Amino acid sequence: MEKLIIFDTTLRDGEQAPGFSMTVEEKVKMALQLEKLGVDVIEAGFAAASEGDFEAVKRVAEEVKNAIVCSLARALQSDIDKAGEALLAAENRRIHTFIATSPIHMQYKLKMTPDEVVERAVAAVKYALKYTDDVEFSAEDAFRSEREFLYRVFEAVIKAGAKTINVPDTVGYAIPEEFGQLIKDIKNNVPNIDKAVISVHCHNDLGLAVANSLAAVKNGARQVHATVNGIGERAGNAAVEEVVMAIKVRHDYFKGIYTTINTKEIYKTSRLLCRITGSFVQPNKAIVGDNAFAHEAGIHQHGILAHRETYEIMRAEDVGVPKSKIVLGKHSGRHAFKTRLQELGYTNLSDAEIDSLFLKFKKLADKKKEVFDEDIEALILEEFSFFENEVKVSYFHVVSGDNVIPSATVKIEKDGEEIISTASGDGPIDSVINAVEKAIGIKGKLLDYTIRSLSSGKDAMGEVRVLVKFDDTDYVASGKGTSTDIIEASLKAYVDAYNKYTARKAFLEKRISEGV
């Protein structure tokens, strides 16, 4: 068995992408989650780039205990000094130094001869050994470099003390077959390659970063640079979650190669990065996208419900997603619809009743992109007329302000009578909900509260959605309300949830009493 080292560069290369900057505290938080994920190396930043980056590398070095903490440094003594200083507190540290080796970079960017580049690379590696015996050397733009020169550079830096040599496809130009061959050629033509780990760093400009990384692994690379969600310069880097799960799922192809990543932390890590950066992953993103384990087509849904492996090559739970999602829409079949009814607790419907509801569901699905659980429940309760005794709000009044205890008065109609109640709370919305609960005589547990604007302007219509538990069962009632007044929208949403709860309860009690 051979271990594939996962070198995570989310905090360095990933952060270089426009819109993905992180504060020092955010980098520390992300680094601690990367440690939970089980990455082997965390490239915390480029210590010489700025005071902020220096501080970030220093803080990550102080906080992370298990993973190797790394800083990038150009092949300059001043950069290496900054990296070494920032990493002093790290229990396991690495300096990652680099210089370009392609003709175009040497001529136009560095304005150096090949001999000068070799000399600078060797000097940088030797100097970095002052701070740590774990030195990684990258030949920037390696894929577009001349092969013989690349072999010469790698041989020289390994002789100087580099333990890892990194082969970047800096501009994402490579095709998998070519990149795999390059790794094979390096293995066969660098005399002392057995004294170093071959690493790769692939960019996604042609959408091939993961494919190139895997081709490299197949041909002898034993470290991969990657980022969470594939973020990074331009089109991004190889996505760590995709590389790791490809190795795990296709262990038959990558025989004897493994990672020590805790895959159940993948989804959590992806979502943390999204929250920190304010970004999102596209719904069809492999492994961590919202649709990665979602199925709408009826044929697929039937297959998944019958046997998961018919349409899924990995379990959602393996990457930390609670479970696969059957999305009900116009492509869904009766089997998936019946299964969802049972999951919602409607286990005693006859085939004729299910057929009738399924026809109504299909008509609704033609009008909506996705049919939610609350839509299905509304169909059931309307079909069997269980909304007759719903609570209605006829009046509400709220008092709130800086130096006032928030309070609310509501007037509701319940079971043919009017009830007026007053209650206080932590704010106007809490107060009005407390007043409603006092009037209906039952307290609910608010599990979720979301608000969004349905239009623009200061008089925009707002929509509130709530999830509430009104008893000790597993049933969660959902409610929705809209208004230009967000307190009124919240009140409507809460009452809507209560009405669904009571209608469902009455329906199930009636079915039991009828012996159905």
Which tens digit of pLDDT belongs to each residue from 451-466? Answer: 887 666 666 778 888 8
Chain segment 357-383, per-residue pLDDT in tens: 888 878 877 776 667 776 777 677 666
Query: Is 333 a residue whose pLDDT tops 70?
Result: yes
Q: State if pTM tops 0.95.
A: no
Chain segment 249-304, per-residue pLDDT in tens: 999 999 999 999 999 999 899 989 988 988 888 878 888 876 666 544 555 555 54
Q: Is the dihedral angle over the CA atoms 337, 340, 341, 342 positive or is it negative?
A: positive
CA–CA distance, 369 with 426 (Å, rounded to integer): 37
Work out the average pLDDT over 20-31: 94
For residue 325, name the pLDDT band (cuts at 50, 70, 90): low
Classify 116 as helix, strand or coil: helix
Smallest Cα–Cα separation from 181: which of 142, 220, 208, 149?
220
For residue 212, name the pLDDT band (cuts at 50, 70, 90): very high
Beta-carbon contacts of residue 9 (< 8 Å; ≥ 6 apart) = 43, 201, 225, 226, 227, 232, 237
Q: Range(s) for CATH 3.20.20.70 in the chain?
A: 2-277
CA–CA distance, 359 with 339 (Å, rounded to integer): 16
- Give the position of tokens 């070198």: 7
CA–CA distance, 203 with 16 (Å, rounded to integer): 13
**CATH 3.10.20.30 for domain 392-512:** no
What count of residues does the chain have? 516
Lowest mean pLDDT among 23-32, 48-57, 260-269, 416-425: 416-425
Query: Is-contact 231 273, C-beta < 8 A?
Result: yes
Beta-carbon contacts of residue 186 (< 8 Å; ≥ 6 apart) = 150, 151, 154, 165, 167, 193, 198, 220
State residue 390's pLDDT score. Answer: 78
Smallest Cα–Cα separation from 37: which of 29, 47, 26, 45?
29
- Give the position of tokens 């429940």: 377
State residue 26's pLDDT score. Answer: 94
Work out the average pLDDT over 187-194: 98
The whole-chain average pLDDT of the chain stands at 88
State residue 304's pLDDT score. Answer: 46
Chain segment 470-513, per-residue pLDDT in tens: 887 778 888 888 788 889 989 988 988 888 888 888 777 776 77
Between 378 and 77, name the one with better pLDDT. 77
CA–CA distance, 390 with 224 (Å, rounded to integer): 60
Query: Is 208 a residue whose pLDDT tops 90?
Result: yes
Work out the average pLDDT over 438-463: 81
Binding site for Mn(2+): which residues? 13, 201, 203, 237
**CATH 3.20.20.70 for domain 2-277:** yes
Q: Range(s) for CATH 3.30.160.270 in the chain?
A: 392-512
Query: Is-contact 129 84, C-beta < 8 A?
Result: no
Binding site: which residues? 13, 201, 203, 237
DSSP string over 31-76? HHHHHHHT-SEEEEE-TTT-HHHHHHHHHHHHH--SSEEEEEEESS
CA–CA distance, 352 with 183 (Å, rounded to integer): 64
Strand (E) or helix (H) holding 186: helix 176-189
Rounded to 5°, angle at Cα 85 from 84 and 87: 65
Chain segment 40-75, per-residue pLDDT in tens: 999 999 999 999 999 999 999 999 999 999 999 999
Q: Which amino acid is at 249?
A: V
State residue 322's pLDDT score. Answer: 61
State residue 516's pLDDT score. Answer: 53
State residue 275's pLDDT score. Answer: 86
Eight-state DSSP code of residue 203: B
Rounded to 5°, angle at Cα 6 from 174 and 132: 105
State CA 56 to chain mean position distance.
22
Smallest Cα–Cα separation from 24: which of 68, 64, 54?
54
State residue 292's pLDDT score. Answer: 63
- The percentage of residues in the chain with a pLDDT greater than 90, rounded to a whole number, is 57
Cα–Cα separations (whole angstroms), residue 244 to 5, 248, 311: 10, 6, 20
DSSP string over 254-311? STTEE----GGGHHHHHHHHHHHHT----TT-TTTSTTTTEE-SHHHHHHHHH-GGGT
Strand (E) or helix (H) holding 130: none
CA–CA distance, 378 with 346 (Å, rounded to integer): 13
Tokens of 471: 């008893």
Eight-state DSSP code of residue 424: E
CA–CA distance, 409 with 397 (Å, rounded to integer): 5
Work out the average pLDDT over 311-337: 70
